């Protein structure tokens, strides 16, 4: 039996003030990293829900700038009555999602804030593990792999990403954005460091802003905000073959 045609997009509940390109700004959910997979998944006929560890979110400052949010995406974001905003603004705590197996696809959206709460987001991690154990697709983008810091494959007892190829936001990009000192000050683990610690193989595109994703079986990951759509499309393609 195929997994349910239903998807959960995980959202960070964390926020912090970080130095980004020499400007102190608020990090939180990178909007397009939730909106783009939402649009891809709904267009593919999925029922899509959101959840965060605390049932809350803070929009990332950078993600609201014209380079990242414009046109139809901007209109959807600004329309608080849009289905996307209603679901996002009214999302439950992950603890209230009792059965992750009701989802056939899990997608971890991100933003720098994901580095803060995803590693200890036990209920989001539980849901991801339940989707995986039920034969579904687990996907992430940008800083989303921070969630895998403590996601275990129930079948093996090993880290879900152990021995697998993944990608995510590059440390080079953190340095380019001049945010690294603040991240280190918060004692946060970068995506490539999570991969190395857990025995995964981290790969990246040559360019830090290139659209790039990796498919390794039922695990799909994207490098940056520019990859959110292609990562979601790849996740749907994997789902269709299950």
Q: How far, CA to CA in Å, does 101 sit from each of 8, 97, 105, 133?
A: 11, 10, 9, 8
Strands 105-108 and 16-20, how do they pair? unpaired
Ordered alpha helix ranges (H), the chain: 31-43, 71-78, 83-89, 114-117, 122-133, 171-176, 180-185, 191-198, 228-240
* Residue whose structure tokens are 């697709």: 137
Give the pair of three-digit tokens for residue 173: 């990009």
Catalytic residue among 174, 189, 193, 240: 174
- In total, the chain counts a number of residues equal to 242
d(CA 226, CA 45): 23
* Lookup: tokens for 117: 């709460």
Indicate the pairing of strand 219-222 with strand 213-216.
antiparallel
The count of C-alpha atoms lying within 13 angstroms of the C-alpha of 209, restricted to the half-sphere facing its C-beta, is 4
The answer to whether 143 is a known catalytic residue is yes
Catalytically annotated residue among 25, 143, 187, 240: 143
50: closest CA among 95, 1, 90? Answer: 90
Structure tokens at 7: 């998807």
Active site (annotated) includes residue 142: yes
Q: Catalytic: 36? A: no
Identified catalytic residue from 15, 33, 112, 142: 142
Catalytic (active-site) positions = 142-143, 174
């Amino acid at each position: 039996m195929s997994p349910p045609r239903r998807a959960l997009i995980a959202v960070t509940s964390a926020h912090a003030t970080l130095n980004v390109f020499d400007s102190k700004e608020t990090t939180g959910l990178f909007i397009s990293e939730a909106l783009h997979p939402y649009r891809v998944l709904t267009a593919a006929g999925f029922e899509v829900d959101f959840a965060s560890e605390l049932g809350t979110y803070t929009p990332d400052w950078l993600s609201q700038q014209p380079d990242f949010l414009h046109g139809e995406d901007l209109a959807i974001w600004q329309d608080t009555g849009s289905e996307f905003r209603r679901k996002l603004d009214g999302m439950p705590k992950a603890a209230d999602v009792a059965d992750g197996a009701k989802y056939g696809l899990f997608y971890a959206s991100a933003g720098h804030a994901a580095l803060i709460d995803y590693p200890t987001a036990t209920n989001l991690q539980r849901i991801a593990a339940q989707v995986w154990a039920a034969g579904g697709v687990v996907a992430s983008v940008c800083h989303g792999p921070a969630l895998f810091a403590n996601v275990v494959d129930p079948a093996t007892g090993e880290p879900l990403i152990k021995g697998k190829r993944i990608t995510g936001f590059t440390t080079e990009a953190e340095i380019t954005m001049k945010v690294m000192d603040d991240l280190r000050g918060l004692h946060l683990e970068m995506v490539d460091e999570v991969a190395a610690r857990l025995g995964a193989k981290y790969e990246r595109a040559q360019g830090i802003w290139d659209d790039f994703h990796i498919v390794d079986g039922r695990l799909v990951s994207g490098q940056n905000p520019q990859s959110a759509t292609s990562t979601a499309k790849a996740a749907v393609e994997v789902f269709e073959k299950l």
